[in-house]
Amino acid sequence: MRASRLMSILLLLQTRDRVTAQEIAGQLEVSIRTVYRDMESLSAAGIPVYGDPGHDGGYRLLDGFRARLELLTTDEAGSLFFAGLPSAAADLGLGAIVTAANLKVMSALPPELRDRAGRVAERFHLDAPGWYSEAEPTPHLTTVADAVWNERTLRFTYIRWATPHLVTRTTEPLGLVLKSGNWYLVGLTAADLRTYRISRIMELEVLPDPVSRPPDFDLAAYWVTYLESFDQRRHHHSALIRVTAETFDRLPELLDPATAQAARDSATDPSSTGHRDIRLPIESIDRAIPDLLRLGAGAEVLAPEDLRHRIAIETAAMARRYV
């Protein structure tokens, strides 16, 4: 571990004219005291590294010195997929490995390409989680990821929406998916392919049984199909809504993409006042109320009657708050 860190420091020094102890500590996720000790070790090993004091100081290599350490390890090569997903790599316990792989790749590039790659990293950043949502605690994520990689069967207790809420499942893990900041496990059971939200996995056990991975399994293709079927299963019912022209135009920003598209596809032609009737797919009356309230005064529920009644009660109660 320490030898790998020393190599990473050396490669970092080769890709930068000057780097501070604080920057090295941040890159490698170690303390500044550890950086100082590592610098002493590099110098003792004959590496011409120099430290300049002061506000603009830092560590640098003697001009012209270059070590050939670009060969990637197996783990580093496998981690390159996560190069643009630093938070995902950290979740999976691959943060340090991805950093080392990036440093080796950058060190191997000619100076002009290295500068270009650096400019791209400075100007583009991918942030996977959605707005106004915190990442769910996933204490079993690294264990699940290890089972996926090493193809070992999992047995766990799982909290689900349906009753009974707490169930035990045995699955052959086939892949992990990061969706809107949440991690999902795709696994093969005796019945079929199943998807599990990692945050709802409770007690977890890795079994010695190997995974019989289907040769034609495509994780990305499965996920697309799963999302399509999920929307169909989730929206068992529908509501008839009359909306103003302004609200109709704002449906994509007020509703999730699938619901907004279904509403627009079902819309009638505008009336003389610009109103349209749309058919919104809904999961249940209780779950539909917050979504419909988001549409504001530009929407009127026409059916079902139970939903119209519940919306009337809710909006009347809200109005009383402001009287």
**Per-residue pLDDT band at 17 (split at 50, 70, 90):** confident
Note whether 206 and 152 are within 8 A (CB). yes
Report pLDDT digits (tens) over 101-129: 565 555 555 566 556 655 655 565 555 66
> What is the model's pLDDT at position 36?
87
Q: List the structure tokens of 91.
A: 């979740």
* Region label for 254, one of left (φ > 0), alpha (ψ between -120 and 50) or beta (otherwise): alpha
> What is the model's pLDDT at position 80?
44
Most confident option among 59-63, 83-87, 105-109, 167-171: 167-171
Residue 160 pLDDT greater than 60, yes or no? yes
* Region label for 154, one of left (φ > 0), alpha (ψ between -120 and 50) or beta (otherwise): beta
Residue 244 pLDDT greater than 90, yes or no? yes
What CA–CA distances, in Å, run from 40 to 1, 46, 56, 267? 17, 10, 21, 71
Give the mean pLDDT of the chain.
79
**Per-residue pLDDT band at 29 (split at 50, 70, 90):** confident
Percent of the chain with pLDDT over 70: 74
Residue 76 pLDDT greater than 80, yes or no? no
Most confident option among 48-62, 136-150, 239-253: 239-253
Between vectors from CA 194 to CA 192 and to CA 198, what angle results, nearest 5°? 160
More confident residue, 23 or 235: 23
Residue with the two structure tokens 């402001």: 322
Tell me if the pTM is above 0.75: no
Order of strands, sheet of 182-188, starting from the edge strand that comes earlier in the sequence: 193-197, 182-188, 166-179, 152-159, 201-210
Using DSSP's 3-state secondary structure scheme, residue 45 falls into coil
More confident residue, 148 or 181: 148
> What is the model's pLDDT at position 130?
63
**Per-residue pLDDT band at 79 (split at 50, 70, 90):** very low
- Torsion on CA atoms 136, 138, 144, 149, rounded to nearest 10: 70
Residue 99 pLDDT greater than 50, yes or no? yes
Note whether 44 and 6 are within 8 A (CB). no
> What is the model's pLDDT at position 116?
60
Rounded to whole angstroms, the Cα distance separating 232 from 286 reads 18
Looking at residue 183, the DSSP 8-state letter turns out to be E
Report pLDDT digits (tens) over 267-296: 999 999 999 999 988 878 888 899 899 999
**Per-residue pLDDT band at 206 (split at 50, 70, 90):** very high
Percent of the chain with pLDDT over 90: 30
> What is the model's pLDDT at position 134?
63
